[in-house]
Each structure stands twice: as C-alpha cells, then as structure tokens.
A and B are shown apart, each in its own frame.
Chain A
C-alpha cells in the first residue's frame, strides 16, 4: 500500500456544485494532515490543515478526518472556475521521522 493515495482524476464538477476530494494513508499513528492546491506551473499552496477527527471549515473549504478509517477528504462548496487545479493531500508520517509525504494529487476541473 502506498503511504498516501489519491485518485488522480480528472474530477469534473459543474460550477456552483460541491467538489469532493479523497485521500487515504497508511500510517495509523499519523496526526497531521494537509491539503495543498497547485496551479499548473506553480508550487503547492497550503489551503487546509487538520489534526483532529471530524470536520474543519474555512470559507468554502471543509476538511474531514477519520483516523479510524485512515481517510481524509476536502470538500469545496460553490465551486468556481478558479478552483480548477491539482489538489495534493499530505501527511506527516510519525513512523518515518515526521517527514511530510504527498499523494500524487487529484486534478479538479470546474465546468463553467
């Protein structure tokens, strides 16, 4: 099993709808989880961090964490064309000297 797994997409969502991005991870004792957004030709930009089970909301973004299922997700409400990007899930692996490992990313395309 890969350490951090994401569906590569592309995920196409109509403008105004909810985009749901998913990520699973292998390290049962991981405590820190992040979502980054990366536009083509740019470096990753942190958009959400989550450390506890449950939901964390920030504007149109909601991160959801379920440690028992080793699953973290990102919901984007009222999707806008400017949300079209690759979304990277990242996990701090506590069984691997606390390094941050990234998934391959999910390409999201918001349809106008």
Chain B
C-alpha cells in the first residue's frame, strides 16, 4: 500500500481480555516500530524490528506485551490480560532502512474498560 496501515482504528475491550493490533508497513520497508502514546506525551518506544527479528524490545512494559513479524512485513502487537492502564494510542511506523526517517500509520486507539 501507499502508506502504513493499522487495524483496527479503535478497539474497546474489557479488562482482562486479549487484544491484537495489526500493522501493515509501507512495501519494501525493512524496519518496523511500535510506539504507545498517551495524552500529552510523546510516542513511547515499545519494540523495533529489522526484518523478521526484534532488534530491540526493551520498551515492552511487561510480559503481557508481545509482538511478532513472521514474514518481515505485517506485524502484530499482542496484549494479554489487558489492564485499564494499557489504554492509549498504539502507533506503528516503518522505514526503508533502520537509520532513515520513519513514517507512521494512523494509530489504533485502545480503550480498556
């Protein structure tokens, strides 16, 4: 596609449920980033993929969060046993190479009730 695509745009889930957020990067982009953004804050780094492997997952807040990118393209961020504190906008970005500018999708707004 022409840009980074994230689905769903909005997700409301109950506390304790499992959610999956999907990111489809720009075609040919090898690097893929996940960020979380709360109101009034900058994007908080979660995980970064180069190809299929996670180059850096140091931003994942705990073991309830996990992300995969099995074929080096689409990525899925998975959150188990969701908590109200997980409510935020989850942003995905991709770049052609790991050292160049990244372009964002429209984000997924996750609300845990």
Contacts and interface: CB of A to CB of B under 8 A. Distances in A.
A32 B99 contact: yes
B41 A32 contact: no
B58 to A, nearest CB: 8
A74 to B, nearest CB: 14
Q: Which of A4, A32, A98 counts the most B-chain CB atoms under 10 A from its CB?
A: A98
B31 to A, nearest CB: 8
A105 B42 contact: yes
Contacts of B43: 44, 88, 102
Interface residues on B, range: 20 to 34
A43 B106 contact: yes
A97 B56 contact: yes
Interface residues of A, number: 25
A104 B45 CA distance: 12
Interface in B55-109: 55-56, 58, 89, 91, 93, 95, 98-107
A4 B42 CA distance: 10
A59 B106 CA distance: 25
A46 B98 contact: no
Interface of B: 33, 35, 41-45, 48, 55-56, 58, 89, 91, 93, 95, 98-107
Given A32-B101, A98-B99, 19 more contacts: A32-B99, A36-B104, A43-B104, A43-B106, A43-B107, A44-B104, A45-B104, A46-B103, A49-B100, A88-B42, A96-B56, A98-B55, A98-B98, A99-B56, A100-B45, A100-B48, A100-B102, A101-B45, A105-B42
12 contacts: A32-B99, A36-B104, A43-B89, A43-B104, A43-B106, A43-B107, A92-B98, A99-B45, A99-B56, A100-B33, A100-B102, A103-B42
